Amino acid sequence: MIPSARISAAIEVLGTVLAERRPAADVLKDWGRAHRFAGSGDRAALSSLVYDTLRHRASAGWIMGATEGEESPRALLLGMLRRGRGLEVDAIAALCDGGRFAPEPLSEEERAHLVAASLDDAPAHVRGDYPQWLDAALAAVFGEARVAEGEALAERAPLDLRVNTLKGALDKALPQLSHLSPSVGEWSPLALRLELEADGKAPPLTVEPAYIKGLVEIQDEGSQLAAILAAPPRGGQVLDLCAGGGGKTLALAALMDGVGQLYAYDDDLRRLAPIHERVQRAGAHNVQVRSPKGRGPGRVDVLKDLESRMDLVLVDAPCTGTGTWRRNPDAKWRMRPGALAERVKEQVEILDEAARFVKPGGRLAYITCSLLDAENVDQIRAFTARHPAFRAIPPAEAVLALGERGIALREASLERPEGLLLTPRRTRTDGFFIALLVREA
């Protein structure tokens, strides 16, 4: 496909995403099925045009003079080419030449908007490219810096890997991946970072022998840090209560050197499904997966025997995912206040559930990939009020699990007495909130 045909296709896909409120990934998949002639380069270029537009949706619409909520997919895409990709007006006009597969030529009005491309009078949520209804909540956390935080959340995310020390050390993995030019992690001693290609495509990691053999796993550096700061004791008893596909489970197993017992549970059997194969590939022999049995009042308590026995319970809670907007840019526009209220309620229930497994002297790690106080510090405050036996461990103490790098991490993060908040702008990771609590009695 010629570049202008890709622009036309991106406008079409965006139109469906916006009109039908469907996830961009699904619409892109449908488009691929209906256009089998398109090669992998075309598909990659198309999806990065669509995702980049969603990343910059508010600012792209604003510079094109569109009314919020009523922007045409064409206006958004043109605005993104100017603001997100920094193309000059003539370069955009050359892509829109009205040729056979190209978009219509630019109107005088479009040209004028693209020349001015001004965000000077734009409100914070437009400059920061996030939904207006979240402005007050983000202001409560970041104040004036919410615009810069939003801008960083509108960037593309790199592909982070974690070296699985059950299979080998960093110096074994590095030479095996040298053709992908990885850089070593800024904070996690286990992290390798691969930058995306110019078209936004990630390197095809899953065909690499190092990946196939389990020497490296795909895991954002922030997620790795959450597991490291949770500090699972080698030889201890650990429960990963919201294990999902096992991202944190595998990191915990490696940090325990495969010694002790790690139980992985999730109340959604489908989400838990990939964990079995991943545990095998990683060689994580101390993981015992506990699958949910039954539904509703008939549900069997498959964790009953773990009550008051755990040295560490990890709660990687279901959340709004506001910290992962770099990777899921369409999710930020689909999110609704009702969903936030629902997640908050689930988090309360899961934290209360988690408490029963922690032994006296044991710890509870609460993690979200959200930036919002309602899901983070407010949850910890409310939990310690409901459960006076638990006390929040000060972040200054928690970061010691990372050695010297912990001091720098603490300075870079947003520190609250209840926990640390990592953000793309501050730590160049996904957004993560990490809180540790100890059960004193």
Ligand X SMILES: C[S@@+](CC[C@H](N)C(=O)[O-])C[C@H]1O[C@@H](n2cnc3c(N)ncnc32)[C@H](O)[C@@H]1O
Can you say which residues are annotated as belonging to the binding site for S-adenosyl-L-methionine? 266, 316
Residue nearest to ligand X according to CB distances in the complex? 247
- Counting contacts by CB under 6 A, is residue 155 touching ligand X? no
State which residue, 88 or 268, has the beta carbon closest to ligand X: 268
DSSP codes, 94-139: HH-S--TTSPPPPPHHHHHHHHH---TT--HHHHTTS-GGGHHHHH
Q: Which is nearer to ligand X, 154 or 241 (CB)?
A: 241
Helix boundaries (H) for 239-376: 247-255, 269-272, 275-282, 329-334, 337-355
Is residue 318 close enough to count as binding ligand X by CB under 6 A?
Answer: yes
Residue type (1 letter), 90: D
What does the block give as tokens for 26?
A: 């699904």
Which residues are 270's β-sheet partners? none
Does residue 306 interact with ligand X by CB under 6 A? no
Pick one of 155, 195, 346, 378: the residue that binds ligand X (CB under 6 A).
Answer: 346
Q: For the segment 245-274, give every residue that binds ligand X (CB under 6 A).
A: 245-248, 266-268, 271
User: Binders of ligand X: how many residues, by CB under 6 A?
Assistant: 16
Query: What's the closest the beta carbon of residue 119 comes to ligand X, in angstroms?
Result: 33
> According to the binding rule CB under 6 A, does residue 160 interact with ligand X?
no
Name the active-site residue from 96, 242, 319, 369: 369
Residue 347: name the closest of 361, 366, 330 by CA: 366
Long-range (24+ apart) CB contacts under 8 A made by 269-278 are 271/244, 271/245, 272/243, 272/244, 272/245, 272/246, 273/245, 274/245, 274/246, 275/243, 275/244, 275/245, 275/246, 275/249, 278/217, 278/245, 278/246, 278/250
Task: Pick out the residues of the known binding site.
Answer: 266, 316
Least Cβ distance, residue 396 to ligand X (angstroms): 25
Q: Is 350 in the site for ligand X (CB under 6 A)?
A: yes
Identity of the residue, 60 or 350, whose beta carbon is nearer to ligand X in the bound complex:
350
Cβ nearer to ligand X, comparing 87 with 218: 218
Ramachandran quadrant class, 258 (left: phi over 0; alpha: psi -120 to 50; beta: rest)? left
CB of 251 to ligand X, least distance (A): 8
Amino acid sitting at position 17: V
Minimum CB distance to ligand X, residue 292 (Å): 8
Q: Which amino acid is at 24?
A: A
| Residue 301 engages ligand X in binding (rule: CB under 6 A) | no
> Among residues 64 and 275, whose Cβ is nearest to ligand X?
275
For ligand X, the binding residues in 204-243 under the rule CB under 6 A are 241-243
Q: Is 242 a known active-site residue?
A: no
**Chain residues 35-94 in contact with ligand X, contact rule CB under 6 A:** none
Which of 269, 316, 263, 335 is closest to 430 using CA atoms?
Answer: 316
Residue 389 CB, nearest approach to ligand X (Å): 21
First and final CA of the chain: distance in angstroms? 66
Question: Between 62 and 357, whose beta carbon lies closer to ligand X?
Answer: 357
Does 315 interact with ligand X (rule: CB under 6 A)? no
Question: What distance in Å separates the CA atoms of residue 137 and residue 50, rounded to the nearest whole number?
Answer: 27
Which residues contact ligand X (rule: CB under 6 A)?
A: 241-248, 266-268, 271, 316, 318, 346, 350
Catalytically annotated residues: 369
